Structure 1
Amino acid sequence: MLEIECFINPKKPGLLLYIRYGTGLSAIPDAADWVFSSTVADTEVPQALQDEISRTGHAYQQLPPPE
């Protein structure tokens, strides 16, 4: 099982950033804008995002707006 860190960006509501646990935000252009939210198991992240994290080390997920 792979652990993934989840970050939120108050300037970009509804957008989540996932990175491999322990990788850090150094490769993210606007790293200072992201705030740690939680650590999740890879099984809690959709497969497409897991694949992108494996390829690039990070992935973004746009959440649907609240109803």
Structure 2
Amino acid sequence: MSAGTSGIFDHADETEEVTMAPECFDLYTNPARPTLALYVRKGAGLPDFADPSSWSIEGEIWSNEIPPDVLKTLETNGHVFQELGV
């Protein structure tokens, strides 16, 4: 704080909340179970436990499109399953 101020920040950027840009993830579905989605980090491929022949990549999904609780698990584990339409 500079001399002569009343304790209020002189710069608006010191009080602004920092927001992160959305992260992109790959979205896979299982044709045998079309309501089950598997999200993984972009470009990571399928986890070792997932049989690649059982999954097909459907595209990408952004972190701001994923429910917060699902996103937290995804960020922690690097992958997450989600039942779609629930």
Identify whether the pair has TM-score above 0.5, normalized to the shorter chain: yes
Q: Per the alignment, in what secondary structure is the counterpart of residue 13 of structure 1? A: strand
Identity %: 28
Runs of 4 or more above 6 Å deviation: none
Contact 2:47–2:79 at 8 Å: present in 1 too? no
Residue from 40, 43, 48 that aligns with 1:27: 48
Identify which of structures 1 and 2 has the higher relative contact order when contacts are C-alpha pairs closer than 8 Å and 6+ apart: 1
Residue from 47, 54, 62 that aligns with 2:83: 62
Other-structure match for 2:74: 53
TM-score, normalisation: structure 2: 0.67
TM-score, normalisation: structure 1: 0.83
Q: Mark the runs of 5 or more structure 1 residues left unpaired by the alignment.
A: none
Amino acid at match of 1:33: S
Residue from 53, 56, 62 that aligns with 1:41: 62
